[in-house]
Structure 1
Amino acid sequence: MNVFVVIVAFVLLLGGALAMWRFAKLRSKGTPVIIRPIPAQDGAAWRHGVMKYNEGTALVYKLRSLRPGADLSFPRNDVEILSRREPTDVEAGFFDSELHVVVLSVTGQGEWELAVDDSGDTALVAWVESSPSARQTRTLPTNIEERFRHVRGRARRQGR
């Protein structure tokens, strides 16, 4: 029985240490958000987290998750801002007073609501709007040296 208690205590201590490490690591990086998938009942399914933007994706880390990586990933070219709204009376009870809700559509992942302040909204809009169009994004060949040799060899065979 003592061994069981020691194992349980160790697991709880390890889980607590992981949670504290994740919280400390994420707290100062990114934009604080409260996020939920929609449809959802009024006031339900909201999760606190941090959204970090990089060149191609927005990564959401939920604060009460022990997962080592991001909990959600939104590719920039798949994100569309649909609307904004003020919190409902139920949501206003647990949101900070300066938060408003931004409704997003993410291709292949449905619609999401993000509760953000004005600076978080500005960061999201800037990130989405600075995305190049999928049609404008050219991919460079990764095997350019091989392709050059192939074209050069073909030219030699043709006597050029």
Structure 2
Amino acid sequence: MEFLFWALVCLAVLAVLLAVWRFLTLRSRGQSILLRRLPASGVHGWRHGTIRYNGDDLEYFKLRSLSPLADRVFNRQHLDFHEPRQLSEGEEKFMSRDLSIATLCDDGTHYEIALDQHGLMALTAWVESAPDIRHERINHAALRDRITRGKNGK
């Protein structure tokens, strides 16, 4: 019985440490947002969180999660950005009025993201500055190895 008690205490301490670590590391290095997956009706489905830009990935961390990894990762080359809209009357009841809502499409899955004007401008610039997938940089060393592979085997 005593072992079970200490195991539960250790699990509780671990959960608190994960929550504190996630809160302290993400709050200082990200943009606070609200996100929901579409289709959604009314004001349901909004989740508070933080986004962080990591190269070609946009990482979304839910506020009420203990995972050290991102809860959702959007790749910039597969992301479409649609014009922002204003808040509805129902959304104004729990969101700040200076937020705008934009729609993101990630390989056919649609999401709405609510963020302030500065965050919206940063997201728009980040998505639009993505290189076209057809213009990927050629790895000359890999191409040379591929071409000469047949000659080295003779």
TM over 0.5: yes
Normalised to the residue count of structure 1, the TM-score between the two structures is 0.84
Percent of pairs with identical residues: 33
Shift of residue 5 of structure 1? 3.6
Where structure 1 has 5 or more consecutive residues not aligned to the other structure, the ranges are none
Cα deviation digits, residues 93-113 of structure 1 (max 9, x gap): 1112211111111114x0000
> What is the CA RMSD across the aligned residues, in angstroms?
2.3
Is 2:40 aligned against 1:18?
Answer: no
Is 2:114 aligned against 1:115?
Answer: yes
Matches within 5 A, 1:27-38: 27-38=27-38
Is 2:57 aligned against 1:57?
Answer: yes
Normalised to the residue count of structure 2, the TM-score between the two structures is 0.87
- Structure 1 residues 30 and 85, CA, compared in 2 at 3 Å: closer, same or farther? same
Match of 1:146 in 2: 145
Shift of residue 16 of structure 1? 1.4
126-135 vs 88-97, which moves further: 88-97
Match of 1:66 in 2: 66
84-93 vs 32-41, which moves further: 84-93
Distance in 2 between residues matched to 1:144 and 1:49, nearest whole Å: 42
Letter in 1 for 2:36: R
Task: Work out whether residues 33 and 51 of structure 1, in 8 Å CA contact, stay in contact via their aligned partners in 2.
Answer: yes
Task: Work out whether residues 38 and 113 of structure 1, in 8 Å CA contact, stay in contact via their aligned partners in 2.
Answer: yes
Q: Secondary structure, in 3 states, of the residue corresponding to 2:124?
A: helix
Is 2:12 aligned against 1:9?
Answer: no
Where structure 2 has 5 or more consecutive residues not aligned to the other structure, the ranges are none
Match of 1:77 in 2: 77
Distance in 2 between residues matched to 1:150 and 1:13, nearest whole Å: 56
Structure number, greater radius of gyration: 1
Size of the aligned set, in residue pairs, is 154
